[in-house]
Amino acid sequence: MSFIDIRNLKKSFGPTTVVHDFSMAIEKGEFISFLGPSGCGKTTILRMIAGFETASGGEIRLAGADVTHLPPARRNVGMVFQAYALFPNMTVAENIAFGLKVAQKPQAEIKARVEEMLALIKLPQLADRYPYQMSGGQQQRVALARALAVRPQVLLLDEPLSALDAKIRVSLREDIRNLQRELGITTVFVTHDQEEALSISDRIVVMNEGRADQMGRPFEIYNYPQTRFVASFVGTLNLLKATVVDPSAGRLEIEGQGVIAEHGAEAHARGATCTVALRPEAVTIGEPGPGRNALSGLIEEVAFLGAIVRVRVRVGTAAISLDLFNDPTSPPPERGTAVTIAFDRDDLLVLKD
Ligand code: ATP
């Protein structure tokens, strides 16, 4: 049995359904991210796991127990919010001790746990500070310590990094991941930032309008998006309209310009229109060969990005971007140059719309 088992979870606010029939099994110690744009329902699912929102239907089980209708305090989950949400009139130590006091733990145990938590978040010297005397990053560390102090069975993180500046965000996300691994605590993290989700998670759930479009490891989500939505939300890639001209040979006509390419995916019906995705890093200038598609085009734009040079090539009505590694011994290609571009037929992904 999974550690968190969510079955057919639904949530409606009045006539509007914001979570449709969501099911997922999460294993003990996993780090799961819910990724999606604003309003897709990711926070609502997190709040239903925490018990701050009641489910309109379905079931949530934690460690085998049905908690669907239990109040938050009886679920043994810790939560960290986007806004720091520390008690402003309490010191760091008092904030961390809060849940333990509510649970009426003995004084000595509280003191020891607070010290342990301060060491865990690497802020032992700040025990007597008040929240207003600390940076945003430090406040979020304290919020994390406060959530973990009661030894919850699940840690829920609702965009805990989004109010911080970019550099702190990256270092704190690494710290959160290390801490999570060290404690082995099952964690659910909500974010709208694809890089954050890709870098931190064991598995990602990509949410779209109250439904999970795809669940998988970061490698799978990035390389093998199954829907147009996932492809466009996660990472940069070329999305091209295509028509199937020969299903048995997997031949496609891209953008109606007589440009025929093959793909390695299963054939659709003849005449069907579909969207195909192609990652810029899968495309080369030149280098045709067996099992590869070659198309002729004109370089339309060249952007030098440092380690990578992004080149946009016009092929009929389609514009295909490709990434070249920077080579200090050879300057990037020029705009207006006629080129042949090539890519493995297996790199052409046919998506569900
Ligand atoms: P964000 O990143 O903006 O928080 P989200 O993906 O987490 O977005 P939710 O907060 O889960 O989205 O909201 C999903 C939908 O439910 C939104 O359309 C939102 O307006 C609606 N919603 C959320 N809470 C309530 C509420 N208490 N009453 C009515 N509608 C709500």
Question: Cα(283)–Cα(130) distance, rounded to whole angstroms?
Answer: 54
Name the nearest CA neighbour of 80 among 171, 142, 4, 133: 142
For the chain, domain boundaries = 4-226, 236-351
36 lines ligand 1 (CB under 6 A): yes
What number is the ipTM of this complex? 0.92
**Which is more confidently placed, 163 or 79?**
79
39 lines ligand 1 (CB under 6 A): yes
The burial of 201, by beta-carbon neighbours within 10 Å (0-12 exposed, 13-18 middle, 19 or more buried), is given as buried
Instruction: Choose one of 9, 10, 11, 13 to mutate for the ligand 1 pocket test, by most ligand atoms within 8 angstroms of C-beta.
Output: 13
- Measured in Å, residue 165 CA sits from the centre of ligand 1 at 24
Q: Is the domain covering 4-226 a CATH 3.40.50.150 domain?
A: no
Asked whether this chain's domains 4-226 and 236-351 adopt the same fold, the reply is no
113 lines ligand 1 (CB under 6 A): no
User: CATH second-level architecture of 236-351?
Assistant: Beta Barrel (2.40)
- Measured in Å, residue 94 CA sits from the centre of ligand 1 at 32
Q: Read off the pLDDT of residues 247-295 as tens digits, 9 standing for 90 and up.
A: 777 778 876 555 566 665 455 778 888 888 888 989 999 888 888 888 8
87 lines ligand 1 (CB under 6 A): no
Percent pLDDT > 70 in the chain is 95
15 lines ligand 1 (CB under 6 A): no
Band of residue 353 on the pLDDT scale cut at 50, 70, 90: low
pLDDT at 261: 67
228 lines ligand 1 (CB under 6 A): no
- Measured in Å, residue 275 CA sits from the centre of ligand 1 at 30
In this prediction the pTM is: 0.85
Instruction: Choose one of 18, 49, 54, 194 to mutate for the ligand 1 pocket test, by most ligand atoms within 8 angstroms of C-beta.
Output: 18
